[in-house]
Amino acid sequence: MNKNELVAAVAEKAELSKQQATAAVDAVFDAMQSAMADGGDIRLVGFGTFSVSHRAASKGRNPSTGAEVDIPARNVPKFTPGKGLKDAVNK
């Protein structure tokens, strides 16, 4: 499912126009992105948890040359599915 399909599904289920559904979906994504950019977690009971994980700096190798490469430390988004989502996927 891509964003357009998600907007169409939200519009149908919530009985909204596609323009209103697009605004709602964009608002949800913006709120989630802002919360995670500030280092916060998003817990949706029955669906899952979005969190930010820190990866330490490390050394890697360029596969084509074998040269050692420094990989900088960074924050990465992480999703842990909840029981409700796991159950729905594994009917």
Give 38's DSSP letter.
T
The full set of domain ranges for the chain reads 1-38, 41-91
For 4-26, what is the mean pLDDT?
A: 95
pLDDT of residue 91: 87
Q: What is the pLDDT of residue 80?
A: 96
Q: What proportion of the chain, given as a percentage, has pLDDT over 90?
A: 97
Q: Which tokens hold the place of 53?
A: 């994980």
The span from the CA of 57 to the CA of 73, in Å, is: 4
**Which of the four pLDDT bands, split at 50, 70 and 90, describes residue 23?**
very high
CATH code for 41-91? Answer: 4.10.520.10
pTM, rounded to two decimals? 0.77
For residue range 34-54, list pLDDT tens digits in order.
999 998 999 999 999 999 999
